[in-house]
Structure 1
Amino acid sequence: MTSFPILTYLLLATIVLTFCNFYFWFSANKKKAFNWLIFSLNIYLLLHAIFVFTVRHFFTQFIYFNTVAPFVLVYGPLLYIAIELIRRNTIKRKTIYAHLALPSLIWFACLVLIFFYGEGNGFYLYYNIVLALLTPISLIGYAGYGISAILASNSSLKRYKLMVMPAILLLIFMSLISIIVPIYGDKLLSNAAATDLISMMIYSLMFATSILIFKYKTSIVFNEDNLQDLTVETEEFVSPAVKYERSSLTLQQLEAYKQSLHEFTLKNQPYLDSTLSLNSLAKLLRMPSHHLTQVLSTRLNQSFYTYVNGLRIRYAIQLMTENVDMNMSELALASGFSSKVSFYRQFNATKGCTPAAYKKSILK
C-alpha cells in the first residue's frame, strides 16, 4: 500500500463523488444527448479510479498496469463530442466511432500486453513508445480544438464556458505530465517522492473532473430555467403601450435592439440550447433583461417563450426536410426542446397538428 495517504483519499473521494453524480443524473433530463455523454464520462471516470485504486492497493506486483493503461486517451475525444453536442445539439454516430477508434485500438493492445506478454519484453517496449507519442499529441490536439471552438463566435458554447474551459485546462495539464514522465521516467521511478507527486497530480485531475461533473449535474437539477416548458403565464394582460409608457427607451433604441436580436439569433442560434432563459439570452446580447422583454413585447408582440419556441419550431421544420430519417425524439432535442412532449405541445399549438402529421404532409 502506498506510503502517501493523500493518494488514497483522492481516489476514494473521486469514487464517492462519481457515485453521487449518478444520483443527480437520474434526477436530470436523460433524453438529452449531452446528459448521456456526461453519464458515460462519469462511468469511465469511476472505472478509471477503481482500476487505479485496486492495482495500487491489491496488485502491487502488477503496478505497471497503471502506466500502460491508456485511460487518458479517451478524455480528449469525450471533450470533442461534448463540444459538438453543445454547438450543434447533435452528432453523427460515425463521428463518435471515428474519434474513439484509436483509443479503442490502444486499449485492445493494452489488454493483449497485460494478458499475453507482461512486463519487460519487446512488445512492452514498443507499446510504451507508441503510447508515449500518442498521448501528448492527442491531448494537445483536442485541447487546441476546444480553445479554437470557444474563441469562435458560438453562444451555446460560451454558455458552457465555465465547464468547458476547466476541462481543456485538465487536458493541457495531463499532456504536460505525459511529456515529462517518459523523458524523466528513470529518475522518477528511482525517487518515490517524485513518483507520488506525479500520481497525486493525475489523481487530482481525476477528482477535479468529477467535481466538474458534480457542479454541472447539480446546476441542471436545481436550475429553475429547466422548468421553462412548464411555465404558465398567469399575469393579467396589460397592453405593451401602457406597460412601457414610462420607459426611457426611444423607438430608435428599440429598433436597434430588435435588429441586434434578429442578427444574433440568426447567426448563433441560441434557441437550440434547451436551457436558454430570458436572463441568459439578455447576457449574450449584452442588454438588460427588462429591455429584452420590452423589445419582444412592443416590437414583436411576443413573450420570451413564444419567441424562442417559434424559432425552434421553424428550425424543426427545416430539419424535417433536410434530415428525413430523424425520428421525432431526435428532432425535438436537435431543435432545442427539452423533451418530445414539450415539442409536440408547442408544435401543435403553433401549427395546429402534430409534428409527425406535418412532416408527412410536406414530404408527400
Structure 2
Amino acid sequence: MKRLLKQIVFKYIGEEKRTHAPLNSHEKYKKSGLTESEAFYIREKIKKAFEEDKIYRNNTICLDELSEHIQDNRYKVSQVINMYFSKNFYSFLNDYRIEEAKHLLVSDSTLSVKAIMYEVGFNSKNSFYSAFKKITGLSPNDYRSAATMSFVQNEIQMA
C-alpha cells in the first residue's frame, strides 16, 4: 500500500519515471546478490536500449531478448525493472510503446491508428487499444481528436 501511495504521489508531481533508488526492497530479491552499482549500470543499459535503440519497436521482444541485447543476466534485468522502474517487463515495454504512439498520433495525422500500432511494436489491435486506454484513459482515436482540438484551441487563443 505504501509503495502504491508513493507511485501515485510521484505520478501526481510529474516524476512517474523513477530512475533513482528503489521505493523499497522487494522481499523476493533479498538474496539476489545484485549490488547497487551493478543495478545502476544495468538500469542505464536498459534505458539506452529503450530510448536510443528503441528496442520496444520489435514486436517479438521479450525479457530474454532484452537481456541478450544488453548482455546481462535476465534475472538481474528483471529485478532492476521491477525495483527501479516499479513495473514488470511488459508494463515497462508498453509504457514506451504508448509514449511513441501518442507522439505519432499527434505529429502525423496521415498515419492510421493501425499503422502506428505496428510501428510501435504491437501485433494485436486489442492489446494496443487496451494498453493505450489503460495508460491514457482514452482510445487512440479519442486521444488524437483531443490533441488536435487542444492544438486548435491554443492557436485560437494565441491569435
Runs of 5+ unmatched residues, structure 2: 1-23, 150-159
Shift of 1:322: 2.1
Shift of 1:240: 5.2
Counterpart Cα distance in 2 of 1:335 and 1:260: 20
Of 249, 253, 262, the match for 2:38 = 253
Give aligned-pair identity as a percent.
23
Q: Give 1:5-24 correspondences, 5 Å limit.
A: none
Residues 240 and 297, structure 1, Cα contact 8 Å, conserved in 2: no
Residues 105 and 113, structure 2, Cα contact 8 Å, conserved in 1: no
Task: Tell whether 2:41 aligns with 1:282.
Answer: no
Shift of 1:271: 0.4
Counterpart Cα distance in 2 of 1:284 and 1:240: 26
Deviations 1:12-59 (A, max 9, x none): xxxxxxxxxxxxxxxxxxxxxxxxxxxxxxxxxxxxxxxxxxxxxxxx
Deviations 1:218-237 (A, max 9, x none): xxxxxxxxxxxxxxxxxxxx
What secondary structure is seen at the aligned counterpart in 2 of 1:274?
Answer: coil
Counterpart Cα distance in 1 of 2:41 and 2:96: 20
Bigger helix fraction: 1
Task: Tell whether 2:109 aligns with 1:320.
Answer: no
What secondary structure is seen at the aligned counterpart in 1 of 2:72?
Answer: coil
Counterpart Cα distance in 2 of 1:354 and 1:240: 35
For 2:117, the equivalent position in structure 1 comes to 332
Counterpart Cα distance in 2 of 1:333 and 1:341: 12
Counterpart Cα distance in 2 of 1:240 and 1:338: 34
Name the aligned partner's letter for residue 310 of structure 1: D
Over 3 Å counting, the alpha-carbon distance change for 1:257 and 1:355 in structure 2 is same
Deviations 1:195-252 (A, max 9, x none): xxxxxxxxxxxxxxxxxxxxxxxxxxxxxxxxxxxxxxxxxxxx85211011111111
Counterpart Cα distance in 1 of 2:137 and 2:61: 25
For 2:152, the equivalent position in structure 1 comes to none
For 2:47, the equivalent position in structure 1 comes to 262
Counterpart Cα distance in 2 of 1:309 and 1:263: 16
Q: Give 1:93-172 correspondences, 5 Å limit.
A: none
Residues 57 and 120, structure 2, Cα contact 8 Å, conserved in 1: yes
Shift of 1:305: 0.2
Counterpart Cα distance in 2 of 1:320 and 1:351: 13
Shift of 1:321: 2.0
What secondary structure is seen at the aligned counterpart in 2 of 1:338?
Answer: coil
Of 349, 354, 357, the match for 2:134 = 349
Larger radius of gyration between Structure 1 and Structure 2:
1
What secondary structure is seen at the aligned counterpart in 2 of 1:348?
Answer: helix
Q: Tell me the TM-score normalised to structure 1 length.
A: 0.34
For 2:82, the equivalent position in structure 1 comes to 297
Q: RMSD of the alignment, in Å? A: 1.2
What secondary structure is seen at the aligned counterpart in 1 of 2:26?
Answer: helix
Counterpart Cα distance in 2 of 1:240 and 1:296: 13
What secondary structure is seen at the aligned counterpart in 1 of 2:103?
Answer: helix
Q: Give 1:86-97 correspondences, 5 Å limit.
A: none
Give the ranges of 4+ consecutive aligned residues of structure 1 lying more than 3 Å apart after TM superposition: none
For 1:11, the equivalent position in structure 2 comes to none
Shift of 1:264: 2.1
Shift of 1:325: 1.3
Counterpart Cα distance in 1 of 2:39 and 2:85: 11
